[in-house]
């Protein structure tokens, strides 16, 4: 007993001393391995304050448990990453996912949302449902309000190669909600549960739901709603911690995610305002969620999911890309979009290009030029010029 007491006292003292040394040397990365058996102080050359902040919010990062299992038995899907790239309509096409996956090969990606009823009479697979043959893990997201349409669309999505089917019950856009889809399902929990049951019966892959905390401030029903979805057979729930009325404004209230996590048995993914390694770590710590989903933080920055994933796995921050490297990525993105979608890809690339351009002198001017490009060459020349200027400066 005495030995244990002396041993723990020495160990605790060593633990505190390591932190003190790290702080006094201005070390900015401390790696805590599981069970705090090993305390590794690593000297990192830049951004000490932020990493110390990370240390403070997540002092006992367990880097050994970074997997996530969705579903049960032989239909289960196990991910070697607890960081997910969210579905983003008009953004997360096959090209964008290729870029994200380059830095986060083990993370789950989502297609843009696909309207289930639109597949009823289509003979060919719509472009938003296309996935690379080796693209894994991948979820196809569907939206609609008719259980039969959703069930038959889910079958097509599985034929297409989806590892999981996600149902959108969070979209706040009027065009979607007035037809009974997206977040309007929060107000029809029986129908939402029926949808989950029917889709679960139709396919052999896990069926998941992405939703919000409620319709508006006066109608926050995520606790009852998520329980009903779990009972109906949902294998995982992603909670975007805003109401439908908030759309994308105001801070996400992560406390609701904690409350959902506390009451469910299936995995809960936290979403909303996860736009940096620091916010991801803080959210995981506050909510106890099984994973985090990055969204707007990835616009013009396909490195984010990889950065969070790396930190969770290694306990140290990955070196961030320079602005020149970010612009180089933009240039590649443009080329890939044009190769995949032709002129439509060039047109669609304009918004991406503007998202990439921030945080350097001349960014504003470059953004407005890139928002009007008519060819790959034009865009790449502009980006090349900016990269050269940055490199010389």
Ligand X SMILES: Cc1cc2nc3c(=O)[nH]c(=O)nc-3n(C[C@H](O)[C@H](O)[C@H](O)COP(=O)(O)O)c2cc1C
Secondary structure, 3-state, 264-286 = CCCCEEEECCCCCHHHHHHHHHH
Query: Coil, strand, or helix at residue 254?
Result: helix
Query: Which residues in 19-58 contact ligand X (CB under 6 A)?
Result: none
Helix (H) or strand (E) holding 249: none
Q: Which of 66, 271, 287, 331 binds ligand X (CB under 6 A)?
A: 271
Q: What is the nearest approach in angstroms of ligand X to the Cβ of residue 382?
A: 24
User: Which of these ranges, 67-75, 145-153, 185-193, 267-275, lies near ligand X under the rule CB under 6 A?
Assistant: 267-275
Number of Cβ within a 10 Å radius of residue 33: 15
Please provide the size of the chain in residues. 393
Q: What is the nearest approach in angstroms of ligand X to the Cβ of residue 152?
A: 20
Q: Which of 234, 274, 292, 337 binds ligand X (CB under 6 A)?
A: 274
Where does residue 274 fall: left (phi above 0), alpha (psi -120 to 50 degrees), or beta otherwise?
Answer: beta
Q: What interhelical angle do 323-341 and 343-356 show, nearest 10?
A: 160
CA count, 13 A, side-chain hemisphere, 53: 11
Tokens 């964008």 correspond to 96
User: Which of these ranges, 23-31, 166-174, 213-221, 229-237, lies near ligand X under the rule CB under 6 A?
Assistant: 166-174
Confirm whether 27 is a catalytic residue.
no
**Is residue 139 within the footprint of ligand X (CB under 6 A)?**
no
- Of 31 and 285, nearer to ligand X (C-beta) is 285
**Is residue 248 within the footprint of ligand X (CB under 6 A)?**
yes
User: Which of these ranges, 71-79, 167-175, 342-350, 370-378, lies near ligand X under the rule CB under 6 A?
Assistant: 167-175
Kindly give, in sequence order, each residue whose CB lies less than 8 Å from that of residue 296, ignoring residues fewer than 6 positions away.
Answer: 88, 248, 275
Do 131 and 149 touch, CB atoms closer than 8 A?
no
DSSP 124: S
Number of Cβ within a 10 Å radius of residue 384: 13
Q: Which of 87, 214, 291, 306 binds ligand X (CB under 6 A)?
A: 87
**Is residue 352 within the footprint of ligand X (CB under 6 A)?**
no
Options 27, 145, 171, 283, the catalytic residue = 171
Do 24 and 45 touch, CB atoms closer than 8 A?
no
- Of 66 and 115, nearer to ligand X (C-beta) is 115
User: Which of these ranges, 67-75, 118-126, 269-277, 329-337, lies near ligand X under the rule CB under 6 A?
Assistant: 269-277
Rounded Cα gap, residues 50 and 44, in angstroms = 11
User: Which of these ranges, 168-176, 195-203, 220-228, 305-313, lies near ligand X under the rule CB under 6 A?
Assistant: 168-176
Rounded Cα gap, residues 393 and 383, in angstroms = 15
Query: Coil, strand, or helix at residue 287?
Result: helix
**Is residue 300 within the footprint of ligand X (CB under 6 A)?**
no
Do 188 and 162 touch, CB atoms closer than 8 A?
no
- Of 28 and 238, nearer to ligand X (C-beta) is 238
Q: What is the nearest approach in angstroms of ligand X to the Cβ of residue 74?
A: 28
Q: Which of 51, 66, 115, 168 binds ligand X (CB under 6 A)?
A: 168
As given in the structure block, the two tokens for residue 218 are: 């006066």
- Of 28 and 279, nearer to ligand X (C-beta) is 279
Q: Which of 29, 55, 77, 112 binds ligand X (CB under 6 A)?
A: 112
Query: Which residues in 181-240 contact ligand X (CB under 6 A)?
Result: 210, 240
Catalytic residue numbers read 171
Q: Tell me which residues touch ligand X (CB under 6 A).
A: 86-91, 112-113, 141, 168, 170-171, 210, 240, 248, 252, 271-275, 295-297
């Amino acid at each position: 007993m005495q030995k244990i007491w002396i041993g723990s006292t020495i160990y605790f003292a060593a633990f505190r001393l390591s932190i003190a040394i790290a702080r006094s040397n201005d070390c900015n990365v401390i790696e805590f391995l599981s069970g705090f058996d090993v305390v590794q102080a690593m000297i990192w050359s830049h951004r000490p304050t932020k990493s110390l902040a990370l240390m403070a919010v997540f002092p006992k990062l367990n880097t050994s448990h970074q997997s996530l299992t969705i579903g049960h038995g032989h239909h289960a899907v196990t991910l070697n990453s607890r960081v997910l790239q969210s579905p983003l309509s008009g953004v997360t096409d096959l090209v964008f996912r290729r870029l994200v996956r380059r830095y986060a090969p083990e993370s789950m990606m989502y297609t843009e949302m696909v309207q289930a009823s639109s597949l009823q009479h289509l003979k060919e697979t719509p472009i938003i449902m296309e996935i690379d043959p080796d693209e894994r893990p991948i979820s196809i997201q569907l939206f609609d309000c008719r259980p039969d349409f959703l069930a038959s669309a889910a079958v097509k999505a599985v034929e297409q190669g989806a590892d999981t089917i996600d149902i959108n019950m969070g979209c706040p856009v009027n065009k979607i909600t007035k037809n009974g889809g997206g977040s309007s399902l929060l107000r029809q929990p029986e129908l939402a549960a029926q949808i989950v049951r029917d889709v679960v019966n139709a396919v052999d892959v896990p069926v998941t739901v992405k939703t919000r905390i409620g319709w508006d401030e006066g109608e926050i029903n995520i606790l009852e709603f998520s329980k009903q979805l779990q009972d109906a057979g949902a294998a995982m729930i992603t909670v975007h911690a805003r109401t439908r009325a908030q759309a994308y404004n105001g801070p996400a209230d992560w406390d609701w995610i904690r409350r959902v996590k506390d009451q469910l048995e299936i995995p809960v993914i936290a979403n909303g305002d996860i736009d940096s390694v620091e916010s991801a770590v803080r959210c995981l710590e506050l909510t106890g969620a099984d994973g985090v989903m990055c969204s707007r933080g990835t616009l013009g920055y396909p490195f984010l999911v990889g950065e969070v994933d790396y930190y969770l796995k290694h306990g140290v921050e990955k070196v961030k890309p320079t602005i020149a490297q970010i612009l180089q990525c933009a240039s590649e993105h443009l080329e890939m979009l044009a190769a995949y979608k032709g002129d439509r890809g060039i047109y669609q690339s304009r918004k991406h290009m503007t998202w990439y351009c921030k945080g350097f002198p001349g960014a504003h001017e470059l953004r407005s030029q890139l928002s009007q490009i008519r060819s790959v060459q034009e865009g790449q020349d502009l980006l090349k010029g900016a990269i050269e200027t940055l490199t010389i400066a």
